[in-house]
Amino acid sequence: MTTQEETTISAVISILVENESGVLARVIGLFSGRGYNIESLTVAPVEESRHQSRINIVTSGTPQVIEQIKAQVGRLVPVYRVSDLTTLGPHVAREMALVKVVSSGESRTEALRIAEAFRARAVDTTATSFVFELTGATDKLDSFIDLMRPLGLAEVSRTGVAAIVRGPRTI
Amino acid sequence: MNATPNLNDLKPNARAAAGDVVLSGAEVLLRVLVDQGVEVVFGYPGGAVLPIYDALFRQNAIRHVLVRHEQAAVHAAEAYARSTGKVGVVLVTSGPGATNAVTGLVDALMDSIPVVCFSGQVGVPLIGTDAFQEADTTGITRPATKHNYLVRRAGDLARVVHEAFHIARSGRPGPVLVDLPKNLTVGPAPYQPASRAPHPSYRPRTEPDREAVARAVAAMKGAKRPLFYTGGGIINSGPRASEALGRLVRMTGFPCTSTLMGLGAFPTTDRQFLGMLGMHGTYEANLATHGCDVLVALGARFDDRVTGRLDAFSPDSFKIHADIDPSQINKIVQVDVPVLGDAGRIIEMMIEEWARQSEIPDSAALAQWWQQIDAWRGIRSLHFEQDMTPSAIIRPQHAVRRLYELAMETGRDTYVSTEVGQHQMWAAQHFQFDRPNRWLTSGGLGTMGYGLPAAVGAQIAHPDALVIDIAGEASTLMNIQELGTIAQYRLPVKLFILNNQYMGMVRQWQELLHGSRYSESYSAALPDFVRLAESFHARGMRATCVGELDDVIRAMLAEPGAVVADISVAQDENCYPMIPSGAAHNQMLLGPEQDGEVKVSAEGRMLV
């Protein structure tokens, strides 16, 4: 790259792909092979009738690297469209977390109180544990998990980011 | 790679109820190959592809060339493709057959060569069981190909094979692998002709945007120190693109340089050609690249061998980049006007725009630029002194020069392949190419052992042409087994070995960067190449001094069959001029007298 000291930015890349075997491996293999970051990744079929899946990747790099990522992904044969949502205008990015908290007494009550404040749902409850389900932006999930840490945080499972552009525009 | 045949191979083809002969998957494959215009397949049989070999045996439309190693099959197919403009086709078995082909596939990927490789695979029910000669071929070759397929259903076979050819040859060309489980080639499969419908997701753009071309041409019209920097994309676009390039260069009067892969697109003997640019390019080409004010890159990708130190690459130029692959734009060098599309179409549109735009170019500035270039030319950076005493040691540059001159005397259409290393650079510098598709070399991947199988592919494609592999003794030993293929098909390939008993380029770098500690770069225990040739039913020849060189070259060129010419050349010769790693274009070393001045930075030392 011509200039070394360019600022690193975060980007949400959404990729519409042909839903065929190996397509995810092509995309993530390209990221690892060319040394691009993957901070989170989600993939699921979105247009069953047209055999299309959508991959959302949160990545970071210089603006030049983000452009390269788009161009490199775009030339994969089963890729229909690739968009950087961060440059398309405002977008909604959400993820879901399942958070297991094992505690009793004061901590347990406190965990439940914080969960309510975050609008997390207790989807599983035992005498000694909760599993909270929480949906929101990544930083909201991060702060919830941080708050649970001293209250008996035992396990976390997160989906990674699903994202979409606000307003009538599509990718 | 042979394995015991499976008894299922002997089963007669499935027959439909109505009594019509239903084709087997193998027969469908061959029929689609015929549809795609395939005449030659380079391959090697084995258990998983026996049904395909059986179908090949029972037809005459497609010729199979049996190589001696699967890597060689791919290189032969690459050279076939590069020298004809057609798609090269490879057929290998599962497991080791496919893994041996990987180097060739990556080579084709790096140099954008259209190749379709068919690999056998264990039957679908056995996939994932660690079966005999099973490998995850699509997994292994995913980053080695432009695209690949594992055909799991017989109904997909014909469509996938047609599609593989379309993807290999269109857009930026490249290798495509189709993995064929054995049960699919044995069992019945429906035949389909090629679909005319566009591919749902793969739609490369070939037609350039007129507005972008107009902006590029406006910059060219205003240039005072312009330069065309042309690459392999022009060769890939076809002979029409090279012809158009010739018109564009002449109508503009601009100087033209070329990458290694682009040699021959513009005649290298033309006055407007400055020679190759980059690490071992000419002084005038590199200084012009450094000093130009408008750089017009056509079908080239700013490879590190071309750019040298990036922050000093052509620092003051307005950059135009024409490429068919959007991912090449701004990948290495930020450009001012990107033009996406087929290089040939872009050049044709540039010609139209040049005629249409009324602005008068600054001919005084251009004349001054040419004066400057001629002054750089006066340095004669490719010059060498050959002692012509008959007993004198042959300098490798002289050997290539004489080979070129004597080959031209024959008047024959000449194709040159190379291995990788010093000899490759000397061939690029001293052999001249006035037409495209005659120069076959491994550029991006730098694959030692490319040249001999490439000569096989070129000679198969052009049986009456003169095909020469300019080789080094170390490289050519990497695929020397192809002398067997050459013998079997009576190919009159000339293997011209510049034998300095070293991996010369490794030795050169060790000399310049590692205190002349020649770690493992000496070619010990070399074979007697003359007797090696004879054992493979070829003629062996040897020249050990200048007095013998011309006679050996003449005898080699006159010999109707294959020849291995072992040319003993100076062992300590280095390839100049040279831009040391991490240096800029205006910091070239012109010869050994400057070696002491090499100050390779710590960063430069880390570069390859």
pLDDT in tens, chain A (171 residues): 444 557 999 999 999 999 998 999 999 999 999 999 999 999 999 987 889 999 999 999 999 999 999 999 999 999 999 999 999 889 999 999 999 999 999 999 999 999 999 999 999 999 999 999 999 999 999 999 999 999 999 999 999 999 999 999 998
Question: What pLDDT is recorded for position B8?
Answer: 42
Q: Across the strands, what pairs with B231? A: none
Residue A81: both structure tokens together = 């469209």
Q: Are A73 and A125 part of one and the same domain?
A: no
Q: Are A101 and A153 part of one and the same domain?
A: yes
What percent of chain A is helix, strand and coil (3-state, nearest 5)?
A: 30, 40, 30
Question: What's the CATH number of domain B396-568, 3.40.50.970, 3.30.1490.20, 3.30.200.20, 3.40.50.620?
Answer: 3.40.50.970
Report whether pLDDT(B10) > 60.
no
ipTM metric:
0.91
The kind and range of the H/E element at B542 are strand B539-543
Domain of residue A37, residue span: 9-84
User: How many domains, in total, are found in chain A?
Assistant: 2
Residue A1 belongs to a domain:
no
Dump the DSSP string for B457-512.
Answer: HHHHH-TTSEEEEEEEHHHHGGGGGGHHHHHHTT---EEEEEE-SB-HHHHHHHHH
Residue A169 belongs to a domain:
no
Class of the domain covering B7-186: alpha beta
CB contact under 8 A, A75 and B326: yes
Question: What pLDDT is recorded for position B13?
Answer: 45
Residue type at position B490: R
Domain boundaries, chain B: 7-186, 210-377, 396-568
**Same-fold call for B210-377 versus B396-568:** yes
Per-residue pLDDT, averaged over B356-362, amounts to 96
Residues 6 or more apart from B330 whose CB is under 8 A from it?
A64, A67, A68, B338
Residue A57: both structure tokens together = 């990747």
Q: Are A17 and A72 part of one and the same domain?
A: yes
Cβ-Cβ contacts under 8 Å, B150 against chain A: 21-22
Q: What percent of chain B shows pLDDT beyond 90?
A: 92
Residue A170 belongs to a domain:
no
Residue A4 belongs to a domain:
no
B317-340 pLDDT per residue, tens: 999 999 999 999 999 999 999 999
Q: Residues of A at the B interface (Cβ-Cβ below 8 Å)? A: 1-3, 17-18, 21-22, 25-26, 29-30, 33, 64, 67-68, 71-72, 74-80
The CATH number of the domain holding residue A24 is 3.30.70.260
Nearest to B266 by CA among B288, B243, B282: B243
Number of A/B CB contacts below 8 angstroms equals 53
Last residue of a domain, one of A27, A52, A84: A84
Residue A14 belongs to a domain:
yes
Question: What pLDDT is recorded for position B595?
Answer: 64
Q: Are A109 and A160 part of one and the same domain?
A: yes
Residue A126 belongs to a domain:
yes
Q: Are A17 and A42 part of one and the same domain?
A: yes
Question: What pLDDT is recorded for position B603?
Answer: 73
Report whether pLDDT(B273) > 70.
yes
B15-18: which pairs have CB atoms within 8 A and are 24 or more residues apart? none
Residue B88: strand, helix, or coil: strand
Question: What pLDDT is recorded for position B20?
Answer: 54
Residues 6 or more apart from B587 whose CB is under 8 A from it?
B579, B580
Report whether pLDDT(B580) > 90.
no
Q: Are A21 and A79 part of one and the same domain?
A: yes
Question: What pLDDT is recorded for position B14?
Answer: 43
Cβ-Cβ contacts under 8 Å, B330 against chain A: 64, 67-68
What percent of chain B is helix, strand and coil (3-state, nearest 5)?
A: 45, 15, 40
Last residue of a domain, one of A38, A55, A84: A84
Last residue of a domain, one of A49, A84, A119: A84
Q: Are A69 and A97 part of one and the same domain?
A: no
Confidence band (pLDDT; 50, 70, 90) for B16?
Answer: very low
Nearest to B12 by CA among B2, B1, B23: B23
CA B446/CA B573 separation, integer angstroms? 20
Residue A15 belongs to a domain:
yes
Class of the domain covering B210-377: alpha beta
Q: Are A117 and A148 part of one and the same domain?
A: yes
What residues of B are annotated to the active site? Answer: 70, 132-133, 182, 505
Residue A24 belongs to a domain:
yes
B205 close to B185: Cβ distance less than 8 angstroms: no
B130-169 pLDDT per residue, tens: 999 999 999 999 999 999 999 999 999 999 999 999 999 9
Nearest to B325 among A21, A75, A79 (CB): A75
